Each structure stands twice: as C-alpha cells, then as structure tokens.
Amino acid sequence: MMAHLTRDPITLDEWHGAAVDRWDGASVEFLGIVRGEESGRPISHLDYEAYEPMAERVMERLVQQARAQWPLHAVCVRHRVGQVAVGEVAVLIGVRAPHRDEAFEACRFLIKAIKRDVPIWKAAVSQDGRRLQPTCADGHETH
Amino acid sequence: MDAARTATGIAVNVLLFAQLRDGFGGDQLVASLPSGATGAELLAWLSQRNPKLAGLLEVSRLAVNCEYVSVGHRLEDGDEVVVIPPVSGG
C-alpha cells in the first residue's frame, strides 16, 4: 500500500482489509475530516488542489522515512483532491506496528510532515459558493 | 511554452499554484534571468513583477524536477521551476 491522491471519497475498506502481519500488535489510523467552519465562518466544502506528481512523490518519501524510523508493517496514506464536503474524510493515515507507541508516533510524524511538506493547498468555499480568502499559516488573511 | 535560449541569459518555465496563481492571474510564465541565476533571483524577479505578492513569495519554496531546492540552487536554461506557497493539506 502506498501513498496516493484521490478524487474519490476515501473509504476505510482497503486499509482495514490489508492483511495483518503476525508481528502486528497495534494499528493506528488518523482521519482528517472537513470541519463545517473556517476561521469562524461556516463553509460548504474545501477545495483541495495539488501539484500532483510532486505531492505523491513527497508522500512516498515521508512513508519511507517513517519506515526507516519505526518498525512498521502496513502503511496507508490517502489524500483527497478536488471538492471535499463538510464531514467527509480529506486525509487517511494508517500504520501497523508491533507496539502502540511506535504506531502512534509514526502516525503523528506522518500527518505533521504531510501538512508541512506536501504541495497541497486548500481553499474554503462558503455556503453561497464564495471562495473565502485563504489564510496564511499564522491565521492572518492574505491580501 | 518552451523556454527560449538567449545569448545573454537563461529562460525558465515557472509553474504557479494556489494564491500565487491567483495573484499572477495564470498558472505558468517564463522568466528571463541572467546566466547562473539562483532561485533567490527568480523570487526577486517575480516580486518585481508583482510587488503585492512579495510577502507571499518570501515564504514560498522552490522545486525543480519535483524536488525542493534551496534558494541558492543555480537554475539552468529550460528548467521547470515550481513556486510553492505555504502548503495547507491535511
């Protein structure tokens, strides 16, 4: 299982169906879900765009880094692109490892690194279809 | 669009995303730079064309061939350079 972008809804079937290794003792998954508001304003969906060839390459490299650091077996990373409605899963990260500490740590490493390094951008769209001004990492609106 | 070789410098294809694309009003442009120009010079060239975006360009990263490069990276004629404003995935 590798790291992929997808235009389709993310389901857990593939991840949950991955064969369990006999050494697996912990399975941790993180789901990033689209919240119904952005900076206090209600939204209808997020619009994600990616520089796709680089985004997948960077995600796969981060999975390799996680594998080098922790004894992981199955690893699954999926990130949506395009319109993702409130309540839908925008990102899925799943890891299995012999013990819970390494599984939690690897999962946390992956979501933090993905948010920092993968060329994916989101724009919030309000319920009346307006694109809300993107905000910088520090929360201030750009002009 | 192909970057044309010039006698006095290099031309690089610049790909723009997110707020930078919106700010420049297009997802691609060609930058003409002196031979041996670095990523920092490309960013300065872009800021000069659109001073309103200088702040955003200052916090953007560059990638060549799908790999991040430092602002000291020397650009080659015909390179495809992607300017990556702060990402917001997840």
Positive or negative, the Cα torsion across B37, B38, B42, B45? negative
Contact A122 B56 (CB under 8 A): no
Q: Encode pLDDT of B36-87 as tens digits.
A: 999 999 999 999 999 999 999 999 999 998 999 999 999 999 999 999 999 9
The Cα angle at residue A4 between residues A117 and A123, in degrees rounded to 5:
55
Distance of alpha carbon A139 from alpha carbon B3, whole angstroms: 37
**Residue keyed to tokens 């941790």:** A28
Please state whether the predicted TM-score (pTM) of the whole model is above 0.95.
no
Residue A50, H or E segment? strand A45-50
ipTM of model: 0.86
What's the pLDDT score for residue A140?
A: 41
List chain B residues with CB under 8 Å of A130: none
- Does B6 score more than 70 pLDDT? no
What does the domain layout of chain B look like in residue ranges?
9-84
What's the pLDDT score for residue A131?
A: 87
> How close, in Å, is residue A91 to chain B by CA atoms?
6
Distance of alpha carbon B79 from alpha carbon A30, whole angstroms: 37
What does the domain layout of chain A look like in residue ranges?
3-125
Specify the CATH superfamily of domain A3-125.
Molybdopterin biosynthesis MoaE subunit (3.90.1170.40)
pLDDT along chain A (143 residues), means of 10: 92 93 95 94 96 96 98 96 97 97 98 97 92 56 39
CA A21 to chain centre: 24
B9-84 domain in CATH 3.10.20.30? yes
Contact B87 A115 (CB under 8 A): yes
Return the HEC string of A45-96: EEEEEECHHHHHHHHHHHHHHHHHHCCCCCEEEEEECEEEECCCEEEEEEEE
Of A91, A111, A121, the CB nearest to B87: A121
Contact B17 A121 (CB under 8 A): yes
> How close, in Å, is residue A89 to chain B by CA atoms?
10
What's the pLDDT score for residue A93?
A: 98
End-to-end CA distance of chain A: 41
Distance of alpha carbon A35 from alpha carbon A85, whole angstroms: 9
List chain B residues with CB under 8 Å of A55: 89
